[in-house]
Structure 1
Amino acid sequence: MKFIHAADLHLDTPFLGLKTAPADLWEQIYQSTFTAFAKIIDAALQEKVDFVCLVGDLYDRAERSIQAQLFLQKQLQRLADANIPVYLSYGNHDYVQDTTAELPLPTNVHVFPSAGATFTLITHDQQKVALSGFSYAQRWVEKDMTPIYPVKAAADFHIGLLHGSQSGVNSPHAVYAPFSLTELNQKHYDYWALGHIHQHQLLQKQPPIVYAGNPQGRNPNEAGERGYYLVRQNGHQLQPEFRSVAPLQWQTCFVSVAGASRLTTIINAITKALAAFKQPQSLLLKVVLTHSQQLSPALVQRIENGELLDYFQKQPQHQPFRWLYALALAHDDGVAFSQLDQAYWQKSAVEVFNAKNVQTAAQPLAQANFLAEALKQESLPADLQAQAINLLRENKAITGDEHAD
């Protein structure tokens, strides 16, 4: 038996803030979520998998554009033509709504209802597989949904599809179908296909409890490789293998400007660093200049007012792209973040910077369409938290920990 586990496609992501990129690069950026999913379908056909699991947030927002619907329909039809069934759940971004104005999905697609369901199939090698899951009926599912999942019964393999977050973890995602590993293990399933958290990771090796992550990073917080899991049977166990498909990656590049006294020296150092990237994917880069304490005020001004970034953004681009979306100086403010009480900081950050609080506080702004779209971005709570940290740093309250929750 062999199948694909993917999640969080976020088709039609608007990629706010990148529309100033050159037209051909912008087109590649905008198409990247579509391109990544098409590669997953290519892999499913090439590997001749028994089925495909898609675990929530196929679309980036509840208002699904006809373009995104048509693309998904065509890709899933490719699987239908090869007799590969698809088991699909909707998440917090694309929760179930009135479908009368939407394009129909091919007949090979099995959609989990909000009340939960279990589907079964017989694989090419005559093994019985059960798949259990549910779809979101609204933006938030705050209750634990694991009670609706049946305990494994008469099946060779049982797979759970769950779009949610691990309970007890210090995280702003607690309003999304919280679960515990103990609860999942009590179901005696052979594989848990998880969605919602965008970093691919194995929460447990056997039986595998796995976040597929998203196939394409959508902002600087989603850096590095992105893709899906190809899951193969090995005896009575299922073994996942991560495969990257993202056509472009976000990365941070640190460039030392120690001893630089002229603008051309800094330009050459950055150019050399960019040339060192050999990845086949296009890169969206933030360049951080280190060892910059000796730079003259004039050089610092060129960097901080955006002139140097503008210079690099206007340079000719070639495939694969190496696009600078940000250029900054590394600062050492001299006061360590560890001087604050970490436990209280993290607790307050989780309580304040979560999706529900942000949506509630910003509700008066949502009447403007462009603001409503921005407020739906899943990265918004983390972005606001990062901005709060930066403001504290600017006031010399904290420095250092870029990964603080």
Structure 2
Amino acid sequence: MKFIHAADLHLDTPFLGLRTAPAALWQQIYNATFTAFAKIVDAALAEQVDFVCLVGDLYDRAERSIQAQLFLQKQLQRLADAAIPVYLSYGNHDYVSDAAAELPLPENTHIFPSTGATFTLTTKDGQSVALSGFSYAQRWVETDMTPQFPIKTNTDWHIGLLHGSQSGVTSAHAVYAPFTLTELNQKRYDYWALGHIHQHQLLQEQPPIVYAGNPQGRNPNEAGARGYYLVSQKGAQLQPEFHAVAPIQWQTCTVSVAGAVRLTTVINAIERAVAKLKQPEALLLQVNLTAAETLSPALLQRIESGELLSYLQKQRQQQPWRWIYSLRPQMTATLNFNQLDQAYWQASAKKIFTAQNIAQVAQPLTQPDFLAAALQQADLPATLQAQVLNLLRENKALAGDSDAD
């Protein structure tokens, strides 16, 4: 027995903030979620799996675009033509809405209702499989939905599809349909296919309780390899194996600019670091410039203003597959203060630049998902602190005032 577990496709995601990318790269970025899912379908056909599980947030928003619906319909038809059934649930982004506005999906596609259901099938080698799950009826499902799942009875295999959050675990994602591992284990299922958390991870090895993650990272918080799990029978157990499919990866590149006094030195250091990146995928790069406190105020100003980033992007127009979307100078705590007492600054900064204070001040901005994600970046307090230091230096509150070219 063999199947694919994928989740959080977020087809037609907007990828805000990358409109300055070259046309060829922008087209690849726009198509990235579609390309990733097509690769998953390719794998299902090549592996001749018994079925495919898609666990919530297939679309990026409840008002699915016609293009996203047509693409999903076409990919599911490819699976239908190969007699591969699909079991899908809708999550908090694509909750069940007006069915009359939806394009029909192929007959091989089984959609879990909001009230929950269990589907059964017989694999090509004659084994019986039960699949239990539910779809979101609205944007917010804050109650524990595990009571809707029946306990395993007399099938060879039982699989649960659950789009939700593990109770008590801190995450950048909102808490929906909370569950505990104890609750899931009490169902005696052979595999739990989870969705909602975008980082692929095994919460438990046996029986596997697994987040597939999203097949394509949508923002800098979703860096690294993204894909799906191919789950295969190994004796009396199911073994998940992760496969990457994202055509584009977000990545952070760290470059030391210690001692640099000329702009050309900084540029050359960045270009050397980028040239060392060997991933086959296109990369969207945030470049962090460490030891930036050693740069002159004039050079820092050219970085902070976006002038250097604009230059680097123009230089990469003909080789956009290593696209620098952000350039961030980073300070250490070894600055030489003149008019500002260092100890006082450090003590004040520790109190002021905290995730809690940032969340409180930025609370009115957190409604859009992309802003909420940006404000939850782990390095945001340090980044804001560094930017304040830069502004102070530029206003001659800190020592140093040499020229830069």
SS at match of 2:101: coil
5 Å-filtered alignment, 1:27-176, equals 27-171=27-171, 173=173, 175-176=175-176
Structure-2 residue corresponding to 1:369? none
TM-score (norm 1): 0.87
What are the Cα deviations for residues 251-291 of structure 1, in whole angstroms up to 9, with x where unaligned? 00001112222111111111111111111100000001112
**Inter-partner Cα distance in structure 2 for 1:336 and 1:199:** 35
The 3 A distance-change label for structure 1 pair 394 and 269 is closer
What are the Cα deviations for residues 344-395 of structure 1, in whole angstroms up to 9, with x where unaligned? x78x689979xxx96xx67xxxxxxxxxxx9442x54342344973557767
**Inter-partner Cα distance in structure 1 for 2:359 and 2:209:** 27
2:71 maps to amino acid: F
Structure-2 residue corresponding to 1:224? 224
5 Å-filtered alignment, 1:325-344, equals 325-333=325-333, 335=346
5 Å-filtered alignment, 1:241-280, equals 241-280=241-280
What are the Cα deviations for residues 84-115 of structure 1, in whole angstroms up to 9, with x where unaligned? 00000000000000111221000000000000
What are the Cα deviations for residues 206-225 of structure 1, in whole angstroms up to 9, with x where unaligned? 00000000000000000000
Structure-2 residue corresponding to 1:8? 8
1:141 maps to amino acid: V
Distance apart, 1:62 and its partner CA:
0.5
Distance apart, 1:128 and its partner CA:
0.2
5 Å-filtered alignment, 1:357-372, equals none
SS at match of 1:138: coil
SS at match of 2:100: coil
Distance apart, 1:317 and its partner CA:
3.8
Distance apart, 1:143 and its partner CA:
0.3
What are the Cα deviations for residues 20-72 of structure 1, in whole angstroms up to 9, with x where unaligned? 11111100000000000000000000000000000000000000000000000
Structure-1 residue corresponding to 2:234? 234
Structure-1 residue corresponding to 2:337? none
2:46 maps to amino acid: Q
Q: Is the 8 A contact 1:333 1:393 kept in 2?
A: no
Between stretches 296-305 and 89-98, larger displacement belongs to: 296-305
1:383 maps to amino acid: A
TM-score (norm 2): 0.87
Between stretches 292-301 and 192-201, larger displacement belongs to: 292-301
**Inter-partner Cα distance in structure 1 for 2:194 and 2:265:** 48
Structure-2 residue corresponding to 1:368? none
**Inter-partner Cα distance in structure 2 for 1:316 and 1:264:** 16
1:3 maps to amino acid: F
The 3 A distance-change label for structure 1 pair 324 and 99 is same
**Inter-partner Cα distance in structure 2 for 1:144 and 1:36:** 31
Q: Is the 8 A contact 2:7 2:213 kept in 1?
A: yes
Q: Is the 8 A contact 2:293 2:330 kept in 1?
A: no
Q: Is the 8 A contact 1:2 1:233 kept in 2?
A: yes
Q: Is the 8 A contact 2:25 2:320 kept in 1?
A: no
Unaligned 5+ runs, structure 1: 363-373, 397-405
The 3 A distance-change label for structure 1 pair 102 and 210 is same
Structure-2 residue corresponding to 1:303? 303
1:153 maps to amino acid: T
The 3 A distance-change label for structure 1 pair 380 and 306 is closer
Q: Is the 8 A contact 1:142 1:174 kept in 2?
A: no
The 3 A distance-change label for structure 1 pair 79 and 352 is farther
Structure-1 residue corresponding to 2:392? none
SS at match of 2:249: strand
Structure-2 residue corresponding to 1:211? 211
Query: Identity, % of aligned pairs?
Result: 71
1:11 maps to amino acid: L
Unaligned 5+ runs, structure 2: 335-345, 390-405
The 3 A distance-change label for structure 1 pair 392 and 315 is closer
The 3 A distance-change label for structure 1 pair 319 and 129 is farther
SS at match of 1:251: strand
Distance apart, 1:316 and its partner CA:
3.9
Distance apart, 1:315 and its partner CA:
1.6
Q: Is the 8 A contact 1:248 1:284 kept in 2?
A: yes
Structure-2 residue corresponding to 1:180? 180
Higher Rg of the two aligned structures: 2
Distance apart, 1:171 and its partner CA:
3.7
Structure-2 residue corresponding to 1:322? 322
SS at match of 1:70: helix
SS at match of 1:39: helix
**Inter-partner Cα distance in structure 2 for 1:195 and 1:2:** 19
- How many correspondences in the alignment? 376
Q: Is the 8 A contact 1:282 1:319 kept in 2?
A: no
SS at match of 2:222: coil
SS at match of 2:102: coil
**Inter-partner Cα distance in structure 1 for 2:358 and 2:234:** 40
Structure-1 residue corresponding to 2:398? none
1:384 maps to amino acid: L
**Inter-partner Cα distance in structure 1 for 2:330 and 2:380:** 18
Structure-2 residue corresponding to 1:381? 372
Distance apart, 1:297 and its partner CA:
2.0
SS at match of 1:221: helix
Q: Is the 8 A contact 2:289 2:330 kept in 1?
A: yes
